[in-house]
Each structure stands twice: as C-alpha cells, then as structure tokens.
Amino acid sequence: MKTPPLQRRLLAEALGTFWLVFGGCGSAIFAAKFLVPNITAGGTAVQLGIGFLGVALAFGLTVLTMAYAVGYVSGAHFNPAVTIGVAVARRFPWKDVPAYIIVQVVGGLLAGLALWGIARGVPGFEVTGNLAANGYGDHSPGGYTLTAVLAAEAILTAFFLYVILGVTDERAPSGFAPLAIGFALTLIHLISIPISNTSVNPARSTAVAFFNGNGAPGQLWAFWLAPIVGAAIAGATYHLVTGVDRRAEDIVGVSDPEVLTPDVT
C-alpha cells in the first residue's frame, strides 16, 4: 500500500492537532477545577473537577484516539517537534516537514479559537490568563525558572520521541503503537504540568498563547526551542542507543508501521 497523497496526510494532521488541543487544553480550561455548592454542607463548595490527573489523561487520550483514527494516513505526528525529530532520524522525508508543521499550527490555532469562543460563553469568566497556556517564571504553575522549564521540556520531548521511534519499529507488536504513545504523553503531563503546564509540542503552545495573552506570546519561543532540540537529539541518537537502525524508512502509519512503503527522497 502506497503512502497516501500529501493533501490527505495534511488534512489528517490538522484534524488530529485540532483534537489534541481541543481535548487536552479544553479539559484543563473547563474541567480541571469545577466547584459546585454542597447543600448538605451548608453551601460549602465541592471540587468535582478532574485535576492534574484528569488533564494528563485527556492529553494522552487525544493522541491515542486520533492515532488509531488517522495514524495510518499521516503517521499521527500532531506536533512539529515530532515531525522534525522523525525527520532527523531519517524516518520521514524532509521535503514534507514544512507542510506538516504549517497544518499542525493551523489546526491548533483553530482549536484555540474554538476554546476561546466557548470559554467566553460563561458570564464573568476571565479569558486572559486562563486558557491553559505554557509558561516559565511567574507564568509557570509552580514558579519554575526558565532554565528548569527548558530542561524539562527538552528531556521529556526527547523521551517522547524515543517511545515513538521504538513502538513504530517493525519488530514491535503490531497495532499497539497508539497505546504506548498515548500513555507516554499522559506520563509526560503527570510529570510536568506543575513545571510548565506541559508543552512538548510547539503547535499546542502556539494554539492558545495568543488567545490567552498575559505574557504567553512573549514566552512562546521557549516552547518551540526546547521541544525541537529534545526531539532532534532523540532522532539523531535513537539508532545509536538501541542498535535499531531503520533510517530511510518512513514513519507514516504509526498504527501499523509495516503497511506503507517508504516515501523518502
């Protein structure tokens, strides 16, 4: 089976990135903290939100579900850092990298716009500063410094790429790659939500930064630089670390890495 046409792959990437941002950031915006009055407790509010654990699961589930839905079409990158990382690993054609990144950013921005519009549907909700933007320093949930955030984002993205490159190996169990990738992203969020609100994905960060405001656009560079550096390191070293050299093979089709022919020039 030949690799699907580029146009179809780009539509799949835009759709998947939209779902990642809408589902992941949406869970953080609307459901992470949800207070309701408890009549039996004299009106004391009860927290029924999903918290950090729920948000982490939401991000993992967005990637898991869309990897199964369209992974066989585009490879289910949904992330400029992933696209660059697999290209560095020579598992994806460099000629398609710019187009992938553009549609990932566009898909994410459309999701950010949708979240912004829905969030404004509650009277009194302050959109500025409350759209799950990434940040460091005063804009880090835990007050972590720029250095700490850069280190965390680079390390976590690198390991995310190691997982992706490993589970899409032809010797890995067929059909389970989306599960491993989704669980890896969940774990990443469990580690780093307090540090940076978790990016490891420049498109996810860009998607909400400008709608969020409150300093997020000015810090956006960090959430492009660190994930891309981490992904590039993983892409360049994976075959050295594991002894598995599948360079010059396309990663398109993460749900079944053997079904598509290489498309590398």
Residue 46 confidence class, pLDDT cut points 50, 70, 90: confident
CATH topology of domain 6-242: Glycerol uptake facilitator protein (1.20.1080)
> Average pLDDT for residues 14-43, to the nearest whole number?
87
For 141-170, the pLDDT digits (tens) are: 999 999 999 999 999 999 999 999 999 887
- Inform me whether the pLDDT recorded for 174 exceeds 90: no
SS3 38: strand
Q: Which residues share a beta bridge with 44?
A: 38
pLDDT at 248: 57
Distances (CA, A) of 254 to 24, 90, 176, 184, 191: 21, 15, 9, 15, 25
Give the 3-state secondary structure of residue 167. Answer: helix
Which distant-in-sequence residues (6+ apart) come within 8 Å of 44 by Cβ?
A: 37, 38
153: left (phi over 0), alpha (psi -120 to 50) or beta: alpha
Residue 146: name the closest of 223, 32, 45, 35 by CA: 223
Domain boundaries, the chain: 6-242
Give the model confidence (pLDDT) of 184-237 as tens digits.
999 999 999 999 999 999 999 999 999 999 999 999 999 999 999 999 999 999
Q: What angle do CA 199, 262, 9 make, to 5 degrees?
A: 50
How many CA atoms are closer than 13 Å to the CA of 234, on its beta-carbon side?
A: 27
What is residue 169's predicted lDDT score, i.e. its pLDDT?
A: 80
Alpha-carbon torsion 265, 12, 80, 56, what sign?
Answer: negative
**CB of 254 within 8 A of CB of 178?**
yes
